[in-house]
Structure 1
Amino acid sequence: MKELKWNKQWKFWPDKDSFALVWDISEIAKEITLPHDAMIENPADPNSLNGGNTGFRDAECYTYVKMLFAPEEYKNQTVMIKFEGVYMNAFVSVNGQIAAKSPFGYTTFYAEISDFLKYGEENEIRVQVRAGAMTNSRWYSGAGIYRDVYLLESGLTYLVPEGVQIKTERIEDGYAVLQISSEVKNRNHTVKELVLETAIEDADGRVVTSERTSLALFDQEMRKLSQRITVDAPQLWSEHSPILYTCVSRLFEKQAEELILLDENREIFGIRTVQVDARRGFCVNGEIVNLRGGCIHHDSGLLGAATYEDAQYRQVRRMKEAGFNAIRMSHHPMAPAMLRACDELGMYVMDETFDMWNRLKSNYDYGLYFQEWWEKDVTAMVRKDFNHPSVVLYSIGNEIPEIGTNGGSKTCYELSSKVKELDDSRFTLASVNGVFAAGDQVPKIIEDVVADLSREGKIEGNVNNFMTLMDTHMDKIVVHDAITERLEKAAASTDIIGYNYMTARYEMDGEKYPNRVIVGSETYPPEIARNWALVEKLPYVIGDFTWTGWDYIGEAGVGIPAYQWGEGGFGATFPAQLAYSGDIDITGFRRPASYYREVVFGMRTIPYIAVQNPYKYGQPIIKTPWVISDAAAAWNWKDCEGKPVVIEVYAPGEEVELWVNGVSCGRKTSGKEVGFRTLFETTYEPGTVAAVAYENGKEIGRYELKTAEKAYNLVLKPEIYHGLKGREQELYYIDVELCDEKGIIVTDDDQKLNLSVEGGAEAVGFGSGNPKPNYNFNDGVTETFNGRALIILKKVSDEFVIVKVAAENGKTAEVCLKTNE
């Protein structure tokens, strides 16, 4: 089908009157361009009904309207609208008549609108979003039509959207065999004599093989055709060589001696196979792969939930540069835009269905609809993912409390079986938290730990809060026999079992269940050295997915270190809005944990230095198990000269030596023996702190932190654009830095900034990685955080763009951009 991006000229307004007898366009409606997150437009509110779950932001009921002129020729055509994601409870109407609805906020769905159109006239397309019932999410969901929308057109006989599916059947020496399934539909009332032509093009657009199949398609029939095609000398897709092909499908009608083109479809795919077993682990194209994974939520930081291809590509690219080779989409299906980025950049994907089944986790979440809708939503996810070589695993649920019960194990079987029915080329798992799955066995298991807390009612509420309370005894708790029994039921129906925070079970379960394959589907960042050692040691443990690879809005404070109750952790109060548990912050800046992980992965020989906050030296830190420490990569600490400071050095090798202003602080053991994290205690003196790593007595890497000069500038640095091949740049990222003449960041003199933008772009995000921002991301005002901030612009025309930033200390900066290149 012809597919046209349909994002422009929508009218939008918050809907205060659901029972309006006359559907008109509100006086307060404004014109917008999708994707659009209505939730991020309003500032965080300490009185939010959602509280910290969504970063103190609430949603409402919203209405979107767009007009569609239907020409007379539409009478003999098929017209659909494709929505890649609307949060949540979306109702699509055409001229006042319901055409489609979708309660789940993360599903791609289609509205077939042909039967509701008035030909030769304007037609009203109205999307009503009912997101005002709270609480409905454990993290920042966003709200509205936050992903792309497409208008689809074809004749009455056509290739069904997402109906062309390409599977690599096998790879032999010198060739690969593809199985291609194509759904063809005939809405005519007569039989159609058809020919389906399938051609495979390589990355340069050359046809490498093709096949033709004839068929007679009866009136109102939909048929699935299967073609087996051989590709000689295939170039295989993997993380190291993400080579893509294009499957071009053309549907012709036979008319006398002619072939008349009816429809055309193009699908990008990769040729690759995946296998998994307990002996070799996870393999791509026959090669063993350990998954270096990061869990992420779906928001794009300063953009809220609005899903732009440029933002998704940038996020995936930066995660791969940081050492990740896999992403777990948590806890819902991944956006098509991110899947395309993962395909092109070579990033493996664990896509996930749901965060809940029949048992709700929030008052008004998807659990209200699961029983009636899960099959449609699972089908939508698998059809969306099928041709993406990046997708290798399907998680059918996250921390489902009922999964270890008889009824829950039956649901697990049904979901896994449905996925296998739709796609037998990938593997299923459920991401299980053993303590949460223990259900009514929890009091027995942890009686000695939570007796006092239980009487006070402090173990109710957010599951992650519960896990924090269990942190000091988690290893003993997760190996309890009651959890073992629940896991046996949870693991019965899937190919793999995902362990959330259950590293202590890896070795014992490998011995007890020699054919069980395990993945660390969610793990604590401080435990990466322990976890990765087991991944490398145990072939049946196929990878580790940290919580999280990229910071996110919501679950406010889970990763904020604190020294007083309420500053961070699950006691974090407003204005905490970010989780602050990501290796990479919401602006894309790598935090110390990211470099620590890179060292543990064996991908970095240069040590890295992070400095614990000397202002808090000696004070007991309040931290959740997602927090390593309060360390920052900075050697600017105003008024701390001569005061004690603890320095963390992440280093491989056997030893690491610390130097402060040319004076050695001695050598200490580094590398695997100490978990790749070595601590030095010294006194702070401005200047240079350096770390040198040694292996067999020889230097293998050196790293320095320097104190910035007191005189510094405000600097704007436009980022070099990287995006999907063949796509036009839509977003422009500009880093804002406070730095001296040598480029050293001033981390201890943060400034309030004001932004102005003129010309062919508009600011769609302005902020920093500060987990406690004082301004909304669309205010045009922010504050630097550790000397940094970020501007995100969206192109609106081909005019020059002038960007000006002014700091409260009087410093200014300006940059000019071209948007027509």
Structure 2
Amino acid sequence: MKKRTQLMVALLLAATSATQAQRSITSFDDNWAFYKGDATGAEQTTFNDKAWRKLSLPHDWSIEGPYDQANPTSRGGGYLPAGIGWYRKQFTLGKADAGKNITVEFDGVMANSDVWVNGKHLGKRPYGYSSFIYDVTPYVSFDKPNIIAVKADNSIQPASRYYTGAGIYRHVRLVALNPVHFTPWSVYVTTPVATTTKGTVKIQAQVINTTKAAGEYTISTTITDATGKTVSATGSIKTIAAGQTADFNLEAQVNNPKLWNLDEPALYTAVTRVTKGKEVLDDVKTTFGIREAKFEAATGFWLNGKNIKIKGVCLHHDGGAVGAAVPLDVWVERFKLLKQAGVNGIRTSHNPVTPEFLDLCDRMGFVVMDETFDTWTAAKNNGEKGYNLYFTDWWERDTRDMVMRDRNHPSIVLYSVGNEIHDSLKDSVGFKKYRDQQNLIHQLDPGRPVTMALFRPNVSGVYANGFANMMDVVGQNYRENELIAAHEAHPNWKVIGTENTHVLNMWLALRDKPYMAGQFLWTGFDYLGEADWPETTNNQGLFDRAGNWKQQGLQRESWWSDKPVVHIVRKSDNAGAGTWVANWTPTDFDTYDNAKVQIYSNCDEVELFLNGKSEGVKAKPADDSPRDWDINFEKGTIRAVGRNKGKEVTSEEFKSAGAPAKIILSATKTKLANTFDEVSIIKATLVDAAGIPCPNADNLIKFAVSGAGKIQAVDNGNILSHEAYQASERKAFQGSCIAIVKANANTGTITFNASMAGLPDATLTLQATK
């Protein structure tokens, strides 16, 4: 055994130093032609697309608008356009790729996509959220240009209860493979033993031999840590017959591993290769984490032996002004805000997300509930012509592709197979629909549990008819008292809140019940759609579309953050009328004299000051409720001081603002690579002569960019605004608006200018960098 191990290590070292002839992955995002509308014959190579719009992917044409109450997407799709869109691209394959297997990988096309290469139809995928791969080897040429054509049909509406976007809105890749290679998504890495002293890493993989001869092949995996240091290696040798596949099971040990957790999400890389002699035929890089995650009936969720409450939010896949084609940096900034609010979990509501979204969850330390569908066969209001039309024929393929694609992400701790499903769950037919999905996921990813977001379980009877007994973890939307009662009647059930509102008693249900594993608030960010005209956006988020804190976000931070928190809010109108706002500038100073003030804080005590005079000290309530003051309004400064054990640990203050006098610009980053996923979100804030933000200002701000950049989108977070997102101006809302800027050259200076009538211009400089 020792000699065999030594031989294997020698083979691994030889493989890593051998000539690299493995898979070639090329971005397929650039140089597409696009046409909005149907185009007869556009799949044919002879079709003339010279008049079509030239663009790069990802691309969501629906977000381009305009808003119209008559648009068939209606309230679900946010009154944005739907229809058919065509994409065409010419590409050339090098002679070095002749004899290789050529595939095209789509991360998602919205929706009902058909794909052709050189006039040959490759297939159709109804579900716009699914990633899929087509083998184009039989249809491509290596001695002349090739044409790929994609038709995305969103014309049948209403197809969703929330905004979907339209077109090839995610990344696309062209992959060239040697005839002997790994089958798609077959490399599967698990860590059945995960302690600080030992990590056992298991690697499963499937290799296909498309040649006409059998051969002996070595499958090996080397594991490196975040610094690139090799920490383990393993391998196996098998003979694979011509035209056949072979499954491989490897195991490696990592000594004293760094465990993936929420605070330090340590990641490793497994490079799995298939070699013949010294030639590397294929390799797959898999990022993974060594960690143990489990749910317990009595105590909820555990990560690496630590009992943790999942403080989660639901997120839809749109990024506000950018629609469904979301640059990764938009998610980076959103995740930073969620972290600040104390959020540690994300539910992908209610569909598969982009691969890079999950990569980011891995890197930033969020646990994820990965969800498949919003509907099974029963339709829902405002989405009657959605996935319910395709579930019966496609659920297995779509579930399989999502799980196989996603299962290596350490962030994923739970799968969900449905949200508020309206199919009957009272009979064997309903039971089978759930059981089939759960069994498939268990087959593909045995280490993770399955749930679904149950809809009014006491009404549907699923707590009493045996349905809930099948679930690995019982998930329920809202009605926390029902879930509490269900667990106390069935203490062997593992339970989690799959969708929850922002009110205090729902937080207490999580805080005070040890068995409650977690909850997912509806929602983390405001999202497009699911709104009644003239509103275009569902506004139940902790943050608005533009990334501004909302009242419920401020309060949630006081409940969920581990850092000292104090926030001041007041009722916007006199004597307790209106909404909660975080400022000290009434819209009408003359009629505002009685201010109802609340302080959100996790500090032992809070003292409130108005123009330097104390308005009293209040201790933290046992039930985490806000601390209330009723004070006479005075123009000036209101300040709240939070203390722990008598020592000041945090404070917040607001000052009454005058008229807007200048524009202040701030940027999320000042260096940008010329890629789709890098952007800078520039915020323009109107302030008075003393630099105090003007929260009631709604003036029009105009933007201009010169040099090596461009404006991708603008926004202000106003759910009533029907302004275009792809524009160079925006009205301020609550005193500010944003522009999303990207580089359009590899190097150079980007000069950003903001102007408003009657005020001096504001300028900010960014750099385009390689």
Please say whether Structure 1 and Structure 2 have the same fold, judged by a TM-score greater than 0.5. yes
Looking at structure 2, the residues matched to 410 and 514 of structure 1 have their Cα atoms a distance apart, in angstroms, of: 25
Q: Distance in 2 between matches of 1:286 and 1:511?
A: 24
CA contact (8 A) 1:58 1:132 kept: no
Partner of 2:106: 83
Aligned to 2:425: 404
In the TM superposition, residue 177 of structure 1 has moved relative to its aligned partner by 0.9
Distance change (3 Å), C-alpha of 1:749 and 1:693: same
Give, in angstroms, the shift of residue 342 of structure 1: 0.7
Q: How many residues matched?
A: 742
Does 2:529 correspond to 1:554?
A: yes
Which amino acid in the other structure matches residue 380 of structure 1? Answer: D
Alignment of 1:56-71 (within 5 A): 56-71=79-94
1:485 is displaced (CA, Å) by 4.3
Task: Measure, in 2, the Cα distance between the counterparts of 1:603 and 1:284.
Answer: 18
Matched, 1:660 2:683: no
Structure 1 counterpart of 2:347, from 306, 318, 328: 328
Structure 2 counterparts to residues 779-794 of structure 1, below 5 A = 779-794=727-742
Q: Give the aligned partner of residue 573 of structure 1.
A: 533
Q: Answer yes or no: is the 8 Å Cα contact 1:614–1:640 preserved in 2.
A: no
How do 1:236-315 residues align onto structure 2 when only pairs under 5 Å count?
A: 236-254=259-277, 259-315=278-334
CA shift, 1:717, in A, is: 1.4
Displacement after TM superposition at 1:88 (Å): 0.6
Mapped to 2, the partners of 1:690 and 1:13 lie a distance apart of 56
| Structure-1 residue corresponding to 2:444 | 422
* Contact 2:43–2:116 under 8 Å retained in 1: no
Counterpart of 1:392 (choices 406, 413, 428) is: 413
Higher mean displacement: 776-785 or 44-53: 44-53
Q: Which residue does the alignment assign to 1:456?
A: none
- How big is the shift at 1:125? 0.4
Aligned CA distance change for structure 1 residues 316 and 489 (closer, same or farther; 3 Å): farther
Report the alpha carbon displacement of residue 487 of structure 1 after superposing the two structures with TM.
6.1
2:397 is aligned, of 358, 376, 387, to 376
1:501 aligns with 2:478: yes
CA distance 1:729–1:366, shift in 2 (3 Å): closer
Residues 1:588 and 2:547 are matched in the alignment: yes
Aligned amino acid, residue 439 of structure 2: S
How many Å separate the matches in 2 of 1:59 and 1:801? 34
Letter aligned with residue 757 of structure 2: E
Partner of 2:10: none
**Which residue number in structure 2 is paired with residue 813 of structure 1?**
762
Q: Deviations over 1:594-643 (max 9, x none)?
A: 1211111252433211122116x565x7xxxxxxxx21211112422453
1:118 and 1:20, CA in 2 relative to 1: closer, same or farther beyond 3 A? closer
> Which amino acid in structure 1 is aligned with residue 100 of structure 2?
Q
- Cα displacement (A) at 1:130: 0.7
Distance 1:661 1:745 in 2: 18
2:13 alignment counterpart: none
| Partner residue, 2:367 | 348
Q: Aligned to 1:282, what secondary structure does the other structure show?
A: strand
Secondary structure, counterpart of 2:538 in structure 1: coil
2: distance between equivalents of 1:55 and 1:796? Answer: 30
Structure 1 position 522 matched with structure 2 position 541: no
Alignment of 1:676-695 (within 5 A): 676-693=625-642
Structure 1 match to 2:715: 767
Q: Distance in 1 between matches of 2:649 and 2:388?
A: 53
C-alpha distance in 2 between matches for 1:742 and 1:218: 78
* Residue aligned with 2:334, SS: helix
Q: 1:671 pairs with 621, 637, 644, which one? A: 621
Does residue 549 of structure 2 align to residue 601 of structure 1? no
Amino acid of the residue matched to residue 324 of structure 1?
V
1:97 to 111, 120, 129: 120
SS at match of 2:446: coil
Q: CA–CA distance in 2 between the matches of 1:21 and 1:433?
A: 43
**What is the percentage of aligned positions where both structures have the same residue?**
28
Q: 1:653 to 1:671 in 2, by over 3 A?
A: farther
Matched position secondary structure for 1:227:
strand
1:142 and 2:165 are equivalent in the alignment: yes
Gap change, CA 1:128 and 1:499, over 3 Å in 2: same
Query: How far apart are 1:585 and its partner, in Å?
Result: 1.5
Instruction: Supply the distance in 2 between the matched residues of 1:69 and 1:197 (Cα, whole angstroms).
Output: 33
CA drift of 1:276 comes to 1.2
Which sections of structure 2, spanning at least 5 residues, go unmatched? 1-22
TM-score, normalised by the number of residues in structure 2 = 0.92
Cα pair 2:565 2:650 within 8 Å, conserved: yes
Distance 1:578 1:752 in 2: 21
2:598 to 630, 636, 648: 648
| RMSD of aligned alpha carbons | 2.3
Q: Is 1:433 paired with 2:455?
A: yes
Distance 1:89 1:18, change over 3 A: farther
Distance 1:149 1:48 in 2: 29
Assess, with a 3 A threshold, how the Cα gap between structure 1 residues 764 and 694 changes in structure 2: closer, same or farther.
Answer: same
CA shift, 1:43, in A, is 1.7
The answer to which of 18-27 and 40-49 deviates more is 18-27
Report if aligned partners of 2:113, 2:124 keep a CA contact under 8 Å in 1: yes
Q: 1:184 aligns with which of 207, 219, 230?
A: 207
- The alpha carbon displacement at 1:249 in A equals 1.4
Structure 2 distance, partners of 1:410, 1:683, is 63
Give the conservation status (yes or no) of the 8 Å contact 2:426–2:465: no
Q: The residue matched to 1:492 in structure 2 has which SS? A: helix
- What amino acid maps onto 1:494 in structure 2? M
Secondary structure of the residue aligned to 2:138 is helix
Deviation at 1:701, TM superposition (A): 4.2
Does residue 714 of the first structure (1) align with residue 663 of the second (2)?
Answer: yes
Q: Distance in 2 between matches of 1:280 and 1:504?
A: 18
> Aligned partners of 1:582, 1:728: CA distance in 2, in Å?
26
Q: Write the distance in 2 (CA, Å) between the matches of 1:319 and 1:250.
A: 38
Deviations 1:323-342 (A, max 9, x none): 10000010001211111111
**Other-structure match for 2:684:** 736
CA contact (8 A) 2:438 2:450 kept: yes
Q: Distance in 2 between matches of 1:686 and 1:55?
A: 40
Matched residues in 2 for 1:210 and 1:358: separation?
47
List aligned pairs for 1:737-756, cutoff 5 A.
Answer: 737-740=685-688, 743-756=691-704
Deviates more, 1:806-815 or 1:161-170: 806-815
| Superposition map of 1:629-644 within 5 A | 630-641=579-590, 642-644=592-594
The answer to whether the Cα contact below 8 Å between 1:433 and 1:502 also exists between their aligned partners in 2 is no
Return 361-370 or 640-649, whichever deviates more.
640-649
**Partners in 2 of 1:732 and 1:348 — Cα distance?**
26
Q: Distance in 2 between matches of 1:584 and 1:234?
A: 37
Give secondary structure in 2 for the equivalent of 1:46: coil
Kindly tell me: are residues 167 and 78 of structure 1, through their superposed partners in 2, closer, same or farther at Cα, counting changes over 3 Å?
Answer: same
Give the distance between the partners of 1:350 and 1:791, measured in 2 at CA. Answer: 31
SS in 2 for 1:319: helix
Question: d(CA) in 2 for partners of 1:334 and 1:490?
Answer: 28
Which shifted more, 89-98 or 594-603? 594-603
Q: Is the 8 A contact 1:430 1:490 kept in 2?
A: no
How far residue 573 of structure 1 moved from its aligned partner, in angstroms, is 2.4
Higher deviation after alignment, 484-493 or 395-404: 484-493
Shift of 1:730: 2.4
Q: In 2, distance between residues paired with 1:516 and 1:741?
A: 60
SS of the residue aligned with 2:529? Answer: coil
Check whether the contact 1:404–1:489 (CA below 8 A) recurs between aligned residues.
Answer: no
Give yes or no for the alignment of 1:536 onto 2:511: yes
More deviation in 140-149 or 504-513? 504-513
Structure 2 letter corresponding to 1:818: Q
Relative distance call for 1:742 and 1:432 in structure 2 (3 A) is: farther
Could you tell me which residue of structure 2 aligns to residue 363 of structure 1? Answer: 384
